Homo-oligomer: A and B are copies of this chain.
Amino acid sequence: MTASNRVPTKEDILQAAARIAPFVHKTPVLTSQTLDSISGATLFFKCENFQKVGAFKFRGATNAVLQIKDNKKVKAVATHSSGNHAQALALAAKMNGLRAYIVMPETAPEVKRNAVLGYGAEVIPCKPTLEAREETLKQVVAETGASFVHPFDDYLIICGQATAALEIIEEVKELDVIVAPVGGGGLISGTALAAKYFGNHPEVFAAEPENVNDAYISVQGNKLVKLKNATSIADGLLTSLSNKTFEIITENVHGVITVSEQEIIDAMRLVWERMKIIIEPSSAVALAAVIKSQNQFRGKRVGIIFSGGNVDLKKLPF
Instruction: Give chain A's interface residues, CB within 8 Å of chain B.
Output: 28, 49-50, 54, 269, 272-273, 275-279, 309, 313-314, 316, 318
Contact = CB atoms under 8 A, between A and B. Distances in A.
Nearest to A48: B276
Contacts of A313: 269, 272-273, 316, 318
A49 B276 contact: yes
A221 to B, nearest CB: 37
Instruction: Identify the 3 closest CB pairs spanning chains A and B, nearest first.
Output: A276-B309, A313-B318, A276-B278
A316 B273 CA distance: 13
A245 to B, nearest CB: 26
Contacts of A275: 50
Among A49, A275, A276, A314, find the residue whose CB has the most chain B CB atoms closer than 10 A.
A276
Give the number of copies in the complex.
Answer: 2
A12 B163 CA distance: 46
Given A269-B313, A277-B277, 16 more contacts: A28-B28, A49-B276, A50-B275, A54-B276, A272-B278, A272-B313, A273-B313, A276-B278, A276-B279, A276-B309, A277-B278, A278-B278, A313-B316, A313-B318, A314-B318, A316-B316
A293 B132 CA distance: 49
Contacts of A50: 275-276
A309 B278 CA distance: 11
15 contacts: A28-B28, A50-B275, A50-B276, A54-B276, A269-B313, A272-B278, A272-B313, A273-B313, A276-B277, A276-B309, A277-B278, A278-B278, A313-B316, A313-B318, A314-B318
A318 B314 CA distance: 6
Contacts of A277: 276-278
Contacts of A49: 276
Nearest to A313: B318
A80 to B, nearest CB: 25
A265 to B, nearest CB: 11
A273 B54 CA distance: 9
A273 B314 CA distance: 11
A269 B314 CA distance: 11
Contacts of A269: 313
A54 B276 CA distance: 8
A173 to B, nearest CB: 21
A238 to B, nearest CB: 22
A256 to B, nearest CB: 27
